[in-house]
Amino acid sequence: MANGFSGPVAQIVDSYLARLRKGLSGIPARDQDELVKEINSHIYESYRNDTEGDEVSRILRVLDKLGEPSEVLSSRMPEAMMTVGKKRKLPFLILAGVLIAFFGVPLGIGGLSAAVGLIIGLLAVVISFYVVAVSLILTGWLSAVFMIVRLFSPGFLDRWVDVYPLVSDPTFNTIIYIVGALLIAALGFGLLWLGSRLMRGMRFVFRLLFAKIKNWRKKAPAGGERTLGSDH
């Protein structure tokens, strides 16, 4: 990275800017470049105006006055992440923003992958739930239809399917199977209904979380300034 410095000073600045960039992962690349460029310019100007002592102590003083990358970014990250998440509709970015809002630290790669893992896990549970529900409905309905056909033409598909006689009367036997099949289908529909309830519950929990975060942000310093401005 060309930053306008040379020697050990350039290395120190590079490592600072690299840490800054790490904290920015998740916001659009153009915005990242812009902020890094701006902070680099700040470091350069500040360094040029501080002429006491040797190079290394000068640059360290400059960076100390500027603040840690996390300090420089902490008040902007949650917002930036949330906006990006909204724009691209990427749930894991929103989740990362939420986590940052809660714990106040940019997550980095490890945290993001944990968040992604969590989302994938949840998705898998939801998907398998619906797969079970749909297959129950399909099984129930297909068996019911199959049995109803057998009611009118006994021996239908006998070559492939072996229907175990529960009672001696074949018609009554078929009716028992139809009822059983319909029960299975009903179970599937029950699961679907339960699923919609669960989703509603989850949405409720998430909305509650978001409301909490909003309140928290209102109380946080960043929100304080805004209320001062929005009085008019």
Task: Name the residues that contact another protein, by CB under 8 A.
Answer: 3-4, 34-35, 37-42, 44-46, 48-49, 65-67, 71-73, 75-76, 79, 221-222, 224-225, 228-229, 231-232
Query: Which 3 state secondary structure label does DSSP give 27?
Result: strand
38 or 158: whose CB is closer to another protein?
38
Residue with tokens 């549970």: 125
78 or 188: whose CB is closer to another protein?
78
Shortest spacing between CB 54 and another protein, in angstroms: 20
Q: What angle do CA 113, 114, 118 make, to 5 degrees?
A: 115
State the CB neighbour count (10 A cutoff) for residue 174: 22
Shortest spacing between CB 49 and another protein, in angstroms: 8
Q: In the structure encoding, which two tokens stand for residue 153, read together? A: 């033409």
11 or 46: whose CB is closer to another protein?
46
67 or 117: whose CB is closer to another protein?
67
Shortest spacing between CB 136 and another protein, in angstroms: 50
Q: Side chain identity at 179, as an amino acid letter?
A: V
70 or 139: whose CB is closer to another protein?
70
Of the CA atoms within 13 Å of residue 181, those in its CB half-sphere come to: 17
Within 153-220, where are the H helices? 170-219
Shortest spacing between CB 91 and another protein, in angstroms: 24
99 by Cβ neighbours in 10 Å (0-12 / 13-18 / 19+) ranks as buried
Shortest spacing between CB 90 and another protein, in angstroms: 20
182 by Cβ neighbours in 10 Å (0-12 / 13-18 / 19+) ranks as middle
110 or 229: whose CB is closer to another protein?
229
d(CA 104, CA 202): 24
Shortest spacing between CB 133 and another protein, in angstroms: 45
CA max distance for the chain: 105
